Structure 1
């Protein structure tokens, strides 16, 4: 691999014609022509040698494309399956929660039905990559989160207990998303995009829940 030597000329880092053309992957004659046409910054030494501003060369290099998050379906995960596994996790751990015993059967039914709807909205959010579709689904999830907060307060739960209940569901939702990443052996970048999107959505919901409880 060739070595790049930089020189400070007229207050900046400059490259020789050969160095600059190798970085860009073009013929030196092509780079000379670009310089003659004013397409790139060039400095001519007293000896007649061209020097190219490193920043200008860097700006011409192709930028790596930013990875886009894939939908659950594109990853090979059916949202219905993920929802089913999430509900199984919740059922397994629910009875051990202190706040759970505070609910009567009617309250449990109310929260169970809306919990199912919440998971559908959140997974739908993760299953679309269209901005408009994501925004619509997360707005519905936020409204439902606010409704959760209002109802939890009406049924006697403190804000701390309502938040604890939501964090219980959040932890199991994120655990299921982690399972998706493991099952599909996602590359770290794609897994991070999935986790970040789920985190942002859940943050919106818990803020709405708090606002609903405080209303």
Structure 2
């Protein structure tokens, strides 16, 4: 992760204090790829204030969604990390260097946080619409990242479907692993599908227009 002149960077202890967790916990999150981290030439960890703010919002969203949605999110995150480890030799993964993987991982984390917000905003149509637009923005950024590395549309969609399958399969298994009413799980699946559909359509738009639909700065 490259440092930015416009970013505020915090030490491990400062960042842990900001998130109100023990430094060991934050170190584990960073090692798992849950939060971006920059390592200085001297081997010290630095955390961007903007990444910490985003991570705090996602944790807050996870606490605020109702029980079964929070359970889904926890299981989905664990399954995604496991699936990435098992399928790390997929052909599309070979296109990504460390920077590309870091960018894609960050977009995935942003999308998960956005999905949690979407699940908790079911009764607020205006907020739901703005969240779907943000999902489209993430889809455009993801497509641009893939195009820059020479991925054809098919492989780009394979990678996004890989992520989608982890989220959907986790939801499908919830009634088997938790006491969840089928109708509640159906509502969750519909909301998850809606936000992932927005991402996939945005990806297709970018490839169809050769990247022209992406603003110069996002």
Fold equivalence (TM over 0.5): yes
Structure 1 length-normalised TM? 0.59
> 3-state DSSP class of the match of 1:75?
helix
For residue 98 of structure 1, the aligned residue among 77, 91, 97 is: 91
CA 1:150–1:87: 2 relative to 1, 3 Å: same
In structure 1, what is the equivalent of residue 66 of structure 2?
Answer: 73
In structure 2, what is the equivalent of residue 158 of structure 1?
Answer: 152
Trace 1:42-121 onto structure 2 (pairs within 5 A): 72-75=65-68, 77=70, 81-82=74-75, 84-121=77-114
Structure 2 length-normalised TM? 0.59
Q: What are structure 1's unaligned runs of at least 5 residues?
A: 1-70
Instruction: Give the aligned length.
Output: 145
CA 1:85–1:206: 2 relative to 1, 3 Å: same
Shift of residue 100, structure 1, vs aligned partner: 0.4
Q: Deviations over 1:104-136 (max 9, x none)?
A: 111111111111111111222123222222222
Structure 2 CA distance for aligned equivalents of residues 127 and 183 of structure 1 = 22
Q: Deviations over 1:47-102 (max 9, x none)?
A: xxxxxxxxxxxxxxxxxxxxxxxx84243726763453244234333403111012
Q: Between Structure 1 and Structure 2, which shows a larger proportion of helix residues?
A: 2
Query: Pairwise CA RMSD of aligned residues?
Result: 2.3
Q: Deviations over 1:2-40 (max 9, x none)?
A: xxxxxxxxxxxxxxxxxxxxxxxxxxxxxxxxxxxxxxx
Q: What are structure 2's unaligned runs of at least 5 residues?
A: 1-63, 210-218
Trace 1:1-215 onto structure 2 (pairs within 5 A): 72-75=65-68, 77=70, 81-82=74-75, 84-129=77-122, 130-215=124-209
Structure 1 CA distance for aligned equivalents of residues 144 and 106 of structure 2 = 16
Shift of residue 172, structure 1, vs aligned partner: 0.5
Greater C-alpha radius of gyration: 1
In structure 2, what is the equivalent of residue 29 of structure 1?
Answer: none
